[in-house]
Amino acid sequence: MNVLILKNVSHEGPGTIEDFLKENGMPYSIVDLSMKGEVKNTSSFTHLVMMGGPMAVYEMDRYDFLKTGARLLEEFIKKEKGVLGVCLGAQMVAHVLGGRVYPGGEKEIGWYKVDVTDEGAEDSVFKSLLINGGKKAHVFQWHGDTFDLPQGAVRLASSPLYPNQAFRWGKNAYALQFHIEVTPEIIEDWFRDDPRREEMAGHSKEIYAGYSRRAFGFYKEFFK
């Protein structure tokens, strides 16, 4: 087990993903592509995690490092290694699998409940995110782009605004439009210049225990 974590912007780190890996003694490396970080050899890595960022997949000519991230995602997927894309990372996974990425109708920012599909409820990894007694997941969103489901992908969750909230491709690649990795501290930092900061931070602290427990359940199955 050895995890490669790719960042697209310095302030969007792996959060609870890193917490889980540390707690379980799993080796990992973090590379910030936006700071010209390089991955010279991928052979030792079993999993790739692609984090989020404010840029868009269709801005690759402006953000050249996204091309590097896309190339690495494609490599790991082809080798059937574990892949997890978060927000922009999910859009990147959709892109390399042939899905179209484009602006959504309106932004989703804050805590939302998404509908989990029958396939999502039966998926050995994704079902860990289910709220007890139903087929919904409580997740944190911050995005304005969306994507078409790649051919052959399995939709795991949806919402009225964004039908493709999560999908699986093959057995080992997962794409999550939402931020599974957030902590109250991360959310407070993201809202530091926003008048909703205290409200959002307070709500995050209220639900964080259950949210982090479900996230850790996801990680436990994904990083097997």
Enclosing H/E stretch for 47: strand 47-50
pLDDT tens-place string over residues 71-111:
999 999 999 999 999 999 999 999 999 999 999 988 999 99
pLDDT tens-place string over residues 71-81:
999 999 999 99
- pLDDT beyond 80 at 133: no
Query: Which CATH number do you get for residue 36?
Result: 3.40.50.880
- Give residue 96's domain range: 3-222
CA neighbor of 63 nearest in space, from 87, 84, 32:
32
190-206 average pLDDT score: 85
Query: What is the domain count for the chain?
Result: 1
Q: What is the largest CA-CA distance in the chain?
A: 46
- pLDDT beyond 90 at 173: yes
Pair of tokens at residue 71: 């190339």
Q: What is the dihedral sign for C-alpha 205, 114, 96, 54? A: negative
